[in-house]
Structure formats: C-alpha cells, structure tokens
Structure 1
Amino acid sequence: MLKNFVKAVLFPSPEVLQERINKASGEVCKPGGPCEIGQVEVRGNKYRNFMVGPQTLPELLKFSNESFGTRECIVYQNERLTFKDVYAKAELMAGALVEMGLKPGDRVGICSRNYPEWIIAFCAIIHAGGVIVPMNSWWQGRELEYGISHSGMKIIIADEPRMKHVADRLPSLGVKGIVLRAKKTPEGIISWKHALKIGSKAPRVKLPTVDPDSDAVIMYTSGTTGNPKGVRQTHRGVCQAILAINHVEQSLRAGMGYLAAFIPLPCQLLAVPLFHVTGTHAVLLAGLLLGRKTVIMHKWDPKEALVSIEKEKATHFTGVPTMILEITGHKDAKKHDLSSLLVCTGGGAPMPPALFPKLLDKAPSCQPGQGYGMTETNAITTINTGLNQMTRPKSCGKAQPVCDVRVINEEGNVLPTGKPGELCVRGPTVMAGYYKDDEATKKVFLEDGWMLTGDMAEIDEDGFVYIVDRLKELVIRGGENISCAEVEAAAYEHSAVAECAAFGVPDERLGEELTLAVFLKDGENVDEEGLRKFIAERLAHYKVPRFVHIREESLPRGPTGKVMRRIAKQQYLAKNPPHIQAKM
C-alpha cells in the first residue's frame, strides 16, 4: 500500500496530471502569475491580454538575447549558432538594410527555403524597424511578382533559386535584392556575405520602440478569390499568440510540480516552412521566447527527422499529422530513440486517434496535441493537449485564454451548445485587416471585433471546439491552403477548357487532395496529364491537382448560373470513393 501511495505521489496518472494542469491553467493567469491577464483596448474594442512577457517583437529579441545568450539557438547540418550569434548577425544585417535605404515601417520580403539566414533575416528586419513579408518559397515567377508589387516591399532577401525567378524584374519594381547561399550573384543583387560587410561598417542600429498595435508582419494566404490576401499581423497579435504557447508551457510545468525540474533543455525540430504561421509563430518565435534550440530540416524527410530527434534530443515537434504518421510508421522507427520527445503537436488537419498509441509507444512521456488557427488569427486560437487530446481526438481544443470563440447561423445569431454553425473568433491575436483590401476586411469582421473564419464548427458543453466543415472555397492539402478560384483561373487559360471546378477530396495522408473536374469545349481535346502540366507551368506545384476528371457532361450550376463546386464534388465522389481514388 505504501509503495502504491509513493508511486501515486511521485508519478501521477494521466488523469491526475491532466486535472492538475487544468487547475494550473487558471492559476498562472491570476495577478502576479507568470501568465497574468489584464485588459487592453485595441482598435476600439476591449480584449484580454497577457501582461507578462514581450508585447512587441523588438522586446522579444531583447528578452531572448539577454535570457539565453550562450545557449544554442540554431542547428543546421554542421552549423551551430547561439542566441547571441543570431542576435549579433541580425544586428549587422539590420545595419545593411538601413544603409540600403530601409526606413521604419518599410516592407522587406523573405523568400527562401528554411536556412539559418531566414531566421537571421526575420530578426534583422525587426531590428531595423521594418515590416516582414514572408513569401511562399513554392511560388513561381508571376506569384512572386504579385507579392512583391502588392506589398510594396523595398528589399527582398531570397535564396538563389527564388532570386532567379525575380532578379530581372526587381529594377522595374523599384526593389533591391539580397541573395543568400548563391554560387553566383545575379547582376544588380548583393550577396548575403557582402550585406553583412556593409552592416559591419554601418552605424550600430538600436532596437526600435514600436507601437504594439502597429504592423509587424504581412503574411499572404490563399483566399476564395484568385490572388492571395496580405494579412496584417500586429506586434501585439504575434506576441499574444506566442505568449499563449507560453501559457501551455507554464501550465504544464505548474501541473507537474517538482517533476518539472527534470525537464531537459528544450529543443525543437523545424520541419515546416518558415513562411507559414506554424513555422514562424509556433516554432521560430516560440523558440525565441522559451529558449528552445531549433534544429532546421532542409526539407521534410521522415528518416532524417528520426535521426535528428535522436541526435539532438528533441523535446518538441510541431507539424501536420502526416509528418507524425510518417515518423511513427517509418520502417526504421524502432532503430531510433525518440524518448526525448515531450510535446508533439499537429495542425492543418485532425490528428487520427490511431496515431496516439504509435506515438506513445515511441515516446512514452510525450504529450500529444493539436490546435486550430489561421494566418488571420496568428495561428493560435484553440489548443488541445495531453489526456484532453486523447479523450477528445476529434476536437481542436478550447480557446486559448485571451481569445473567445462562438458559432453563429446564417442570420448571425449565436447558436447553443452542440449546434454547428460558422466559427467566429475574437481577441488581440486577430489580424488588423487585409493589406490594401478594405472590402475584404469588412466582409469578415462583425461588430465588437468578432471575425468570421469561414469554417463550420460546433462547441460542446465543456468549451471544446470541433471543426465539421468548411464554408471557404479552399482546399487544405498537407497544411497548405489552396484557393479553388486560383486553380480554376489557371485551368481556364487552356483553350480547351469550357468549365471547371476545383475541390478537395479526403486523403488519409494529407487530409485533402486537390481535384479538378473539367468539361471541354466542342471539338477541343486535352487529357488529364496534359492539363496538369499546363497548370504546373503557371502555379506552384502544390496547387497542381492530383486528380483531373474530364467530364462528359457540363458542370452543375445554380440559379444564378454559377458552377456549384459542392455538387460537382458530390458527383465525383459518388463515382470515385476515397478508398478507390487512393489507389489511383
């Protein structure tokens, strides 16, 4: 009996631990707590706000450098940089940006694979008082040109493959360029190394003092129209989102009690693109706030992930569920020690319940989790972790402490518990609006700061959110948002296409796969592969439909003559069920 009592005290059951964490979640937010919550007014609305911790990105850089200076910050292949190294290089690059004419509030783009330079560039733009524009590194020439011209950026920092797409267009756009990891520097562009030399000779740039509600990042996201929208993320919005991750961390530590002292130095694997809010917010910026070593993967490879987790003793992994499935299901998984993993979170698609036993078998101490968020909400809106995740695997969790959620019907009335409707979000993490698009901004905002998400959801009696459908005409493939309208517009450029409809179909690995139903003009001809190649010449490869269905009859239309994607999708799935198409 004494043995069982000691075991229960020293090593609480998952149920007891979750109860303690739930209680600690509220305790840490009280006055004087590490996640104290107060109230602020933002754009005429009053919101709850984490009052402890950085409120702007310059404050975050200062805190990170002073708190974790000599600790390792970035690991990339054979390169290792401490927090002080990153800060020092960012300070030099900030000097170069200012020497190149950057003024406070000017936009600077970053378009590159995940490299240490991406992170340093991000920090440098903050240091110089600029607004960061992370660009999708899978974009092609005309997509990149749109982002450059629409954002009005003054400088773009890109790796060699991306710079080749736009180098000859920059002079006409009035944009200066810095290229990194290039074997040959294009004419009119300066190299990363030369920029650092410029910064070393320039006057030292001091960290700026900025308004928490001023723009920090403009991040482009696919919308229901052809071109992506620029989401204005403020310093407050970004920082409140990462402070919500800190709240999860503080609640976990408080709930663990003395066991928290045995938690090793945090280390996270960066396996998602940095141009996504998951990469920037949930990984990069959370790492700067919490002192996590970030191990950068050049590209996703489950075998490499297994090796890196074991070698670097990674404690945190954040990715789409597909990645976690590929790690746990890899043929070499048993050969690698994953026991260091303490937190493994997914997003972009539901976490399959069958994944949890596989994950816990490889990493017994791991807390599984998932969340819900959008670029428009700075990624972190709801969070589900630990036992709550395992007992409610279909839920994306409860609203984080400074956010509110509710569901409404088509008339705008708030629906009761358990009734599905459109999910609305409110809080300081919600975007300031769409850049240069007041009309689109007005469409998604209701009174009192509530924002429409375009996702159908229901909320249970305990406040857990369940996403049940999507109102937006988007496909989310492996975490990537794809605009149906943009894909259709590219297909319509083909002379043989009379009608088309893009939609997502279920896929076990990626959540959804992009499908295009097509009706051809009389006398015209193109096969499925020919149309895929045609679209691939115009759009990034992840936007190219996996399945193209050439129909013999025209597409279904509504009373106004508009093609009805939902009906086209139903018709396709009736003939091609998911279990059949998966074998195609």
Structure 2
Amino acid sequence: MGRDVQAGRLMTPKTFPDRLRALAALHPERPALTQAGLSVSYSELDHAADYLAQSLAEAGAKADTRVILMADNSAAYLAAAVAIWRTGAVLTTLYASSLPDEVAYALENSGATLVVADSRAAALIRRLEGHPPVQILDDVELFGPSATVQTKPNTPAAEVDPAALALICYTSGSTARPKAVMHSHAGLLDAADAYAAVWHLSASDRTVVCLPMAWAFGLVTTSMATLVSGGEVLILARTKPDLIIDAVSRLRGTFLAGVTTMFVKLAERLEELEVQPNMSSLRLCISGGEPRNEPVFARWTALAGCPVHDVYAASECFPAVTYDPHQDPVPVPGSSGKVAPGAQMRIVDDAGNDVPSGQAGEALWRGPAHFLGYWKDPEQTRKVLTADGWYRTSDLVSVDERGYVFVQGRLSDMIIRGGSNVSPAEVEGVLNAHPSIRSAAIVGLPDEHYGEQVVAAVILQPGTRLDAEDLRKYCATRLAGYKVPGEFIPVDSLPVNPRTEKVDRRALKASLSKEGSLA
C-alpha cells in the first residue's frame, strides 16, 4: 500500500495528495468519507480534488501562492485541501467561526491571492474591503446525485517538493494575534503516518471527526491519519453530543477524538438518556488539548465501554506524546502517555539544562511534523526554538521511571503565590475528584499580600450546594497549603474557546475579575 506507478517507475508517495492518489487506484470503491447521508469513495474524493485543483489553477493558484480555506467540516473541505496542494499552492486554514477582524488580519498577513469558502464564510469575506477572489465550496456540486465533476484529460498535478511549505495554520489565538504555524508536505504526511501507526488505525476504522479541520487535530491527527490507513472519516460539522453519539451508535464509529470538555458534555448527555445507545463499536477514544479529567473519563468509560487515552502535542510539533492502546489498554491516571515513535523530548530547567529523572521542567520537542517557523515572524520563531532546533513547549511536565509523561500545566498559566508556583491542572485534578464537583477551573487573581490568590470556579453536581469549607478541607488533605483555593465560586458553565472547545482561562479570569467576586 502507498506505492504508485508513474512514468513506468515504482515510487513511494511522499506527499498526502500522492498517497491519496495511490489509495484511490488500489481501492477505488472503498468508502473514504461519510457526511449526513453522503458517502464518498476514495476514487470520488481523488477525482473531486482534481476537479477543484483544475478550477483553482485557472483562478491563479500555483506554487508560492497562498490559498485560504475557510469552511465548516465537510467532504468538500478535505477535497479542497488536497486540491490546493495539487496546484502547488500553500493551504492556509482559518476557523469557520473567525471574526471579521481575524479574517482581515489573516488576509493581509498571508497575502492570499484566492479564498475557498463555504457560503457562510464567503458572505463574511465579501464584506471585507479589498478581499481576494472567492470560490464557493459546495458538497452537492462535488458529490451530490447530480454532481457534474469533470476534469480535462491529461491535466497533471503540479510537481511538489515534499520539503516545500504546505500549510499555514492560524492558531486559535492564545496571544493577541493568532500565530501562523508553517508545516511542510513531508512533515504532515509523516505525522499522519506516525499517528496511524501508534494508534493501529486500519481500513476497518471509522473515525468520528468533529474537531475543526482548520486545526491540525481535526485535519492531520484524525482525518489524514485515518485516510492514509485506508479507513473512513465520519464528518461532523459540530461537536454536538447528539451528533457524536449518533455517529458512534448508528454509524458504528470506532475512533473518537476530542478535548476533555467534549467528553464532559458527552458523559452528561449519556447520563440524561433514558435508553442508553449502543456504543460498543468504539475501540479508541483520544483526548487532547486540555488536562485530563479522570472522574469524567471514568464515567464515560462506564457509559461507553471505551477508556479515554491521551495525546499531548502542539500545532508546532506533532506527534509528541500519546498512548499505544495495544501496549496500554488502560491509560495511566493523570498521564498523557509516552513519547511517540519518531518523536523526541527533553525536560529542562530555567537555564536550559536537562533535569534529573522524575523532576519537573519545561518540555522541549522534536517530532515528525516539526514546524518550519511562524509565517512572517522570525522573532517569535527564534523565541520558541532553541539554538539546536528543539521546540519550546512552555509546558511544565515530568516523566516517571516507566516513561509515562505527566503534564503539570502551562508555564504561562502558573499561579505565583507568595513566590511558589501553583499548577492549575494539579488543583483541578483534585477538585474534579470531589463528589460534589462536576467540573472545575483554576485561575489566579490579584492578592495584595501574596501576589496572587488561587481561585476555583466550580460547576456543581445536580442537587448539591456549595460547601466551601468542606472543599477547602478536602483540598488541604491532598495539596500543599499554598495550593488550596482561597475562594470557591459556583458557576453554571465555564467559558470555552468556540473553535477548540477548550476552557478559556483568560476569559474566565476576566469574568471573575469583572464580576468583583473577590471584592
């Protein structure tokens, strides 16, 4: 598999579009994508990508140009990504929920000469002054019963250097401006292959993809990793619990990936249902992007019959840390797994020296998809790369004697109380295990005596009342005194990033400060 014959010679595809071509030749009728009743075979996906590539090339897409793709998850989205690559242009992804000023910034920053968008995104872009030409992406046109997809004969794809820039991915914005992460063709394919190998993905897998395909987690880690394995992608445009449950119970999804918050909502929804759906097709669940919530994962496992393993990576470098579910059928509580095959990790102190085994420090990575830098931002690129090329994660982690990695939190999220560091993830892990707590988030707010105070925003279990003293005593038996929250604030919900579904600590901190809860 993965070998193609061109010009009378046997070759190994070194880019994802070439791999898709080889798979379409080997298994033309095999289902590749399923979406709301629409089924797309490998040959149909390959053919649609050629059709779009031809259209985009005629509109000016070519090597060294950037083409923005802004749309909800769909079969057409994946076809468009491949099409952009086949023209030799650089795929430049934007979240479909991006605001006008974010889109305007990306258009100016990328210098994109063409935009491919669904109808909703196209309407926004066309309201912006000086926008480039926009092509509408339409699933029905490409794959519907009356599709008129035709390609001109003998229209070859552009010759693409595997080392060339393939992707500019605008992050979800933990900084004032989203960072534009650059990856090569070879790096993306290597990452997809690495995930497929460590998770043992195969042609029998049906992967539920509800994460945005504008995020590497949705595009490469799940969708591309499934397709390079000959599997089928079950596409959802939203991370709505009912849609996900249906994709597993009715469509028999085998692999589900998401963030911790998604599994919280799924567990809650399953507990609400009078008749439990059949989730027995699931063989692999992966959570990433947020600290583990072991009590929720235990509830999910009891309801769905499949444990939640972990993946720990960054848009800049992946894969990095995850589980091989065959070697570890049950995840180690609190751990993100082990360093993935093909990846490397160092743990260093503030001076950049490797720390002793078992000691916490900043994680540095090298991996199959090691980013090429930030587009038009050499200064920021230098800040996150060491002199010898390691990616600085800004995460505090430790590794036990068996090689399991434990993430203690973002260095930028650390609360400094009286000169001592407090990891929000550690405190959250303790609180989430309390029987009255459904979910908790920890932030630091100003304190005139100690610099910062540890504050817990908590969602209570139904039918329970906040007992701050009980929670304080509970934490005091499990945490050092300076880590125990000084305030417990009940909330109905926690703010989340609308693109990634991660808890938005900055928004929570601003909300609590604005409400004057600690005045």
TM-score, structure 2 as length reference: 0.75
Quote the Cα distance in structure 2 between the aligned partners of 1:199 and 1:474: 53
- Give distance in 1, aligned partners of 2:147 and 2:373: 37
1:152 aligns with 2:102: no
Aligned residue identity for 1:127? R
Q: Does the aligned pair in 2 maintain the 1:372–1:383 contact within 8 Å?
A: yes
- Structure 2 counterpart of 1:548, from 508, 511, 514: 511
Could you tell me which residue of structure 1 aligns to residue 259 of structure 2?
Answer: 320
Match of 1:342 in 2: 283
8 A Cα contact 2:346 2:365, kept in partner? yes
Q: Which amino acid aligns with 1:237?
A: G
Distance 1:231 1:264, change over 3 A: closer
SS of 2:371's partner is coil
**Structure 1 counterpart of 2:403, which letter?**
G
Partner of 2:211: 272
Structure 1 residues 390, 156: CA separation in 2 closer, same or farther (over 3 Å shift)? same
The 1:325/1:222 distance shift into structure 2, 3 A limit, reads: closer
Indicate if the aligned counterparts of 1:427 and 1:449 stay in contact, CA closer than 8 A.
Answer: no
**Does the alignment pair 1:180 with 2:137?**
yes
Tell me the CA shift for residue 356 of structure 1.
Answer: 4.7
**1:466 Cα offset (Å):** 1.1
Quote the Cα distance in structure 1 between the aligned partners of 2:293 and 2:84.
Answer: 39
SS of the residue corresponding to residue 291 of structure 1 reads coil
Aligned position for 1:453: 393
Percent identical residues: 25
Aligned to 2:73: 114
Per-residue deviation at 1:56?
A: 1.8
Displacement after TM superposition at 1:204 (Å): 4.8
Q: How does 1:118-517 map to 2 (within 5 A)?
A: 118-169=77-128, 172-173=130-131, 175-181=132-138, 200=150, 204-222=154-172, 225-250=175-200, 265-329=204-268, 330=270, 331-332=272-273, 334-364=275-305, 366=306, 368-378=308-318, 380-386=319-325, 388=328, 390=330, 392-472=332-412, 512=441
Matched, 1:104 2:54: no
Relative to 1, partners in 2 of residues 1:469 and 1:91: Cα closer, same or farther, differing over 3 Å?
same
Q: What is aligned with 2:421? A: none
- Structure 1 residues 154 and 198: CA distance shift in structure 2, 3 A: farther
Contact kept? 2:77, 2:137, Cα under 8 Å:
no
SS in 1 for 2:293: coil
**Secondary structure, counterpart of 1:458 in structure 2:** strand
**Distance change in 2, residues 1:212/1:300 (3 Å):** same
Q: Is the 8 A contact 1:136 1:275 kept in 2?
A: yes
Question: 1: distance between equivalents of 2:439 and 2:28?
Answer: 38
| Paired amino acid for 1:448 | D
Give the C-alpha shift of residue 208 in structure 1: 3.5
CA distance in 1 between partners of 2:267 and 2:198 (Å): 24
What is the number of equivalent residue pairs in this alignment? 437
Deviations 1:327-354 (A, max 9, x none): 3442228531111111111111233233
Which amino acid letter does the alignment assign opposite residue 349 of structure 2? N
The one-letter code sitting in structure 2 at the alignment partner of 1:372 is: Y
* Letter aligned with residue 511 of structure 2: V
TM-score, normalisation: structure 1: 0.67
CA RMSD of aligned residues (A): 3.7
The residue matched to 1:373 in structure 2 has which SS?
A: strand
Residues 304/213 of structure 1: CA separation in 2 closer, same or farther (3 Å cut) = same
Asked if 1 retains the 8 angstrom alpha-carbon contact of 2:116 and 2:134, the reply is yes
Given the superposition, is the C-alpha separation of residues 208 and 446 from structure 1 closer, same or farther in structure 2, using an over 3 Å criterion?
same
Q: Which has the higher helix share?
A: 1
Please name the residue that 1:75 is paired with. Answer: 34
Contact kept, 8 Å, 2:142 with 2:148, in 1: the verdict is no
The one-letter code sitting in structure 2 at the alignment partner of 1:279 is G
Q: Does 1 or 2 have the higher relative contact order (CA < 8 Å, sep 6+)?
A: 1
> In the aligned structure 1, how far is the partner of 2:512 from the partner of 2:365?
37
Q: 1:53 to 1:336 in 2, by over 3 A?
A: farther
List aligned pairs for 1:4-153, cutoff 5 A.
Answer: 54-153=13-112
The structure-2 alpha-carbon separation of the partners of 1:205 and 1:321, relative to structure 1 and needing over 3 Å to count, comes to farther
Q: 1:429 to 1:217 in 2, by over 3 A?
A: same
Distance 1:473 1:160 in 2: 38
Secondary structure at the aligned position of 1:447 is classed as: coil
Q: Deviations over 1:85-142 (max 9, x none)?
A: 1111111000000110111232111111112211111111122222111101121111
Q: CA deviation at 1:374?
A: 0.6
Q: Distance in 2 between matches of 1:474 and 1:202?
A: 57
Task: List per-residue Cα deviations over 1:127-172 (Å, max 9, x = no partner).
Answer: 22221111011211110111111111111111222222221336x2
Counterparts of 2:180 and 2:195 in 1: how far apart (Å)? 24
Whether the 8 Å contact between 1:516 and 1:548 is mirrored in structure 2 is no
Alpha-carbon spacing, 1:459–1:550, altered in 2? closer, same or farther (3 Å): closer
How far apart, CA to CA, are the structure 1 residues paired with 2:237 and 2:284?
22
Partner of 2:420: none
